[in-house]
Amino acid sequence: MIKDKNFYNKESSYYSMKRYPKITLDYIHFFFKKRLKIVLKELENNFKDRNNLNLLEIGCADGIVLRRILERMENHFSDIVGIDLSEGMIKEAKNLTIDKKINYFVRGAEKIDKKFDVIVEVGVVNYADVDKELSYVKNNLNRDGVYILSLAGKGSLNDYFGKGDGYNNFLSYHEYEDKIRKNFKISKIIPVGFYLPLIWRVPVLARVWQFFIEIVLGPFLPNLFHEKVYILKLK
């Protein structure tokens, strides 16, 4: 199942506003912002002592993740590339990004003449050909590089409460991990998004409850979470 890029062309002008607002008011806001925090933390943990790095984001949308990475770790990265299938998203990303370290391309027209120290791909692979995506990353990642991947697994609470909507062609986490392990070593798995929509009727309390629920349940019920973030290295 390939996500309709026309949907993202329409979403491009308010993509970040809907998903990364300053004040978290619902589960979607929490999920996207928590996943971004995980990506930033893992980059800092893995590359705090390295400089002159290059990074590729697959499915960069309007560039929100890349801009946040550069804000946090500007001195560590010298070259950043974002690619996306949506022409509207790439246009918006270019309009919103000032820093010349970041270059954006419509996927398929990217100019890549080197391998990357970091490849980030969050919220993308479920809607693509998983095997082809993993192969693409394998061919473009440095030998000692890090691949940050997120996947939503069939059988999560989000799948259950959504009655399978959008999950019909997804695999289980176990099946995805079997595919990953063919070419990558899994350094870390971080579950994110324990889907409890009712608590978000009171956002001021839900922001605290959701945070602690995920800390407590993450180690015990990871397969029930909306997504898992995988920190991967080549075998």
Give the residue with greater pLDDT, 91 vs 161.
91
Q: Are 88 and 62 in contact (CB under 8 A)?
A: no
- Average per-residue pLDDT for the chain: 94
Average pLDDT over residues 82-102: 96
The amino acid sitting at 223 is N
Strands (E), 123-226: 141-151, 184-192
Q: Write the pLDDT tens digit of every residue in 125-145.
A: 998 999 999 999 999 999 999
Pairing of strands 116-121, 77-84: unpaired
pLDDT tens-digit profile of 51-71? 999 999 999 999 999 999 999
> Position 60: which residue type?
C
Please report the sign of the dihedral spanned by the C-alpha atoms of residue 75, residue 147, residue 115, residue 67. Answer: negative
DSSP three-state, residue 226: coil
Give Cα 105 distance to the centre of its chain.
18
Nearest-Å Rg of the Cα atoms of the chain is: 17
Is residue 110 pLDDT above 50, yes or no?
Answer: yes
Q: What is the CATH number of domain 5-234?
A: 3.40.50.150
How confident is residue 3, by pLDDT bands cut at 50, 70 and 90? low
pLDDT at 27 over 70: yes
* pLDDT > 90 in the chain, percent: 89
Listed by start position, the domains of the chain span 5-234
Which two tokens mark 116? 């990357």
